[in-house]
Chain A
Amino acid sequence: MIETNSLKQPLSLKISSSIFVVLWCVIASFPILWITVMSVKLPIDAFSSNPLTVIFGPLTSNERNYLSFQDLLFCTFVLTIFIKFKAKIYNFYNKFINFNDILNIIFFYIFTIILFYLAFKSFNYFIPVLDVLDFKSLGYTFEHYQTVWVERGFSIYFKNSVIVTFGVVIVSLTFGTLAGFALARSNSSIAFWILVIALIFRALPHSILVAGYLPFFMNSSEILRPILGDLAPTLFGKPMAVIAVLVAINQPFTIWLMRSFFQNIPSELDEAARIDGCSHFQAFLKIIMPIMWPGVITTGLFSFMLGYNDYLVTSLLLDAQNQTMVPAISGLFNRDTSTTDQIVAVAAAVSITAPLFLLVLFFQKQIVSGLTAGAVKG
């Protein structure tokens, strides 16, 4: 490839485009960062109209806990070290222990921070000059989180969320991989029409479907009695019913995504296995699935997000004791009576976001590949 001058960017364009990227990053992260900051402050600080008061929380640091300027200095110091010498520190540890999985890496970070902290403290012990810097600067309190998780029952909602979310992921992956494989390997017109119908289903607003379930779910024990006898359950309010509903809602997207991943695996591979005497199912299980894991993880992530993020279906179909976290938050922010209640709702919102944040942290590549899988080929 030739490097021509005109392909290079003029300085003005470079500067303006970097300013734009920085601006976008600020806009993208600001609301999330801001509610995180608010959630660890007392209401008066959190709802102050002065942004500096919200960030530093003078009242919070007086009445609750605080990080001193010294601590902040230490944090910045450690962060800079990490960013600058990441590879070197990593290699240094690698001589002693083999870091090859995520847990080890987390352990490595924690260990290094503790080491730095001890070094810092002992340094301060011998040269007490740094005590001058030991003034209150950043107030924080975790009392709102305690209120949310202990008093407002978020620990129960969390458990319910885990049940619903993992139920959705497991069932929808099992059904989705099977269907996706069949659709990818079939050229029949039936396969095409199934895909088209799935596309139509993908576009349906979920409230339409809920309007169809509600009367049946509420009276299901009476309706199903002739078939199931006394075992007939009332489906309304049951996590199992909601899992089934969310799996069905998610199925169209799942089979499209799975299909596009399976198409990337050459069909010669399972044909070879078939020649060696495997059945279709054996070829699928023993040859295709082992190389499909990236695709399965990606699809699983999207099922996870659908199950975890859903508000509409869970709020209408689950009863109070089976409520998941996301609909439960509406009970918090509607009590506009006191500012404390609002900060409690903010803390709940941050609690709900935290698992998703970890998801992006560990699975960024898979999410990106899932977003582009259906689109880029076409």
Chain B
Amino acid sequence: MKKKDFYLFIVPSLLMMFLFIAVPLAIVFQQSFYITQNVFEDVEVETCTPGFLKQICETEIQTKPKLDANGNIINVSVFVGLENYKNLLQIEKFKKSLYSFSLSEIEKINFWKAFRFTVTFCLITLPLVISLGLLIAITVNNLTQSLKGPVIFISLLPFIITPIIGALAIRWLFVGEGILTSLIEYLLERDIALFASAWTLELLMVIYRVWHVAPFAFIVFYAGLQTVNKETLESAVIDGANRFERLRYIVIPHLMPLIIFVSLIHLMDSYRVFEEIVAFSSQAYVISLQWLTYDFLTPDDTGNRLINRASTSAMLTMIGVSVIILPLLKRTWADYREGNL
């Protein structure tokens, strides 16, 4: 393909990505070093209250936001360097609580609270998703042909459902006197409140996420199982390998590239954990990094959005993304050099 044609084909897509991904990224980077404030001015205000014989007048100096000609509050952006980052990270407080090994102190700083949850969430769901997906793929692969279609259909439902709706469905099963809470209470013979403590909420989020993503892992692994070399399996049988050994030494190594692929995609997506927080209304107990940025962007009671703080937390979120993306890039680079891409 000639260069000119190549560019003609690719330019609309590149332009979209440039305008709506690259440019906002640059803007966010810049915003994270600024603070947008209202301009205040000191106004001398004389307040008079009617008194006997004479009015009692007081003059005081009040600070009021300055208004422009249209009556809107004037904002200015001030360069503050790393001030926003310091405010968000609270390094001093963080260090202090780190030295005293008190996790509860760290949890009081919103950013570290969100960071702690996001990272543990990724790391806990990962092995669960992979192993459950693998288990379903292997068992479904053994089913008779006519049953595979319906099982795949049912398996796709948790994956296809709108994330926030899926999380809400789980919420309604467990909230208050929900059907599964009642069951657990019946089994334990005591009252439980799943939505009133951090660890139960986190457990529910893990359950939801595994339920939601396992089908994806299953479908990918299932497709991979179709390409396992039958002759290798047969020769393993002749060599006396039992079922578990065949799985361990032939099937799993064959699926290994897929396992890595699913892991990386899952890490990418679970690092963005957000909908669970909204659906479970868990912000008082559990928050995630993406939710933190979202919360700064949501207008407060007076209609203000903390854009600069949001930008700062967004930039800090990026650091984690780069850690996850590096192995993926390495893999793509290797593929490219071997000409497999």
Contacts and interface: CB of A to CB of B under 8 A. Distances in A.
Interface of A: 1-2, 4, 6-7, 9, 13-14, 17-18, 20-21, 24-25, 27-29, 31-32, 34-35, 38, 47, 49-51, 54, 174-176, 178-179, 181-183, 185-186, 188, 190-192, 194-216, 244-245, 247-249, 251-252, 255, 280-281, 284, 305, 308-309, 311-312, 316, 326, 329-330, 333-334, 342, 345-346, 349, 352-353, 356-357, 359-361, 364, 367-368, 371-372, 374-376, 378
Interface string B1-30: 111011011101110110111011111100
Interface stretch (B38-46, B55-63, B92-100, B322-330): B322-330
What 10 A-B pairs are tightest by C-beta distance, nearest first?
A212-B24, A248-B20, A182-B9, A179-B13, A49-B182, A31-B169, A207-B293, A372-B223, A208-B314, A17-B139
A191 B25 contact: no
A378 B340 contact: yes
Given A7-B237, A9-B142, A251 B17 contact: yes
A181 B6 CA distance: 9
Contacts of A359: 160
Contacts of B297: 207, 210-211, 214, 316
Contacts of B275: 311-312
Contact of A308 (B152, B162, B173, B318): B162
B168 interface: yes
Interface stretch (B78-86, B105-113, B123-131, B214-222): B214-222
Nearest to A274: B1
B17 A311 contact: no
A376 B258 contact: yes
B157 A204 contact: no
Given A28-B215, A375-B258, A364 B17 contact: no
A364 B2 CA distance: 38
Interface in B95-149: 135-136, 138-140, 142-143, 147, 149
Contacts of A356: 160-162
Contacts of A21: 136, 139-140, 143, 147, 151
Given A51-B179, A207-B314, A374-B261, 11 more contacts: A18-B143, A21-B140, A178-B13, A203-B328, A205-B274, A212-B31, A248-B21, A281-B8, A311-B163, A311-B275, A353-B161
Which applies to chain B's interface (DSSP): helix, strand, loop or mixed? helix
Interface of B: 1-3, 5-6, 8-10, 12-14, 16-17, 19-21, 23-28, 31, 135-136, 138-140, 142-143, 147, 149, 151-158, 160-166, 168-170, 172-173, 176-179, 182, 211, 215-216, 219-220, 223-224, 227, 230, 233-234, 237, 243, 257-258, 261-262, 268, 271-272, 274-275, 278-279, 281, 289-290, 293-294, 296-298, 305, 307, 310-311, 314-315, 317-318, 321, 324-325, 328-329, 332-333, 335-336, 340-341
A252 to B, nearest CB: 7
Contacts of B151: 21, 24-25
B10 A196 contact: no
A252 B17 contact: yes
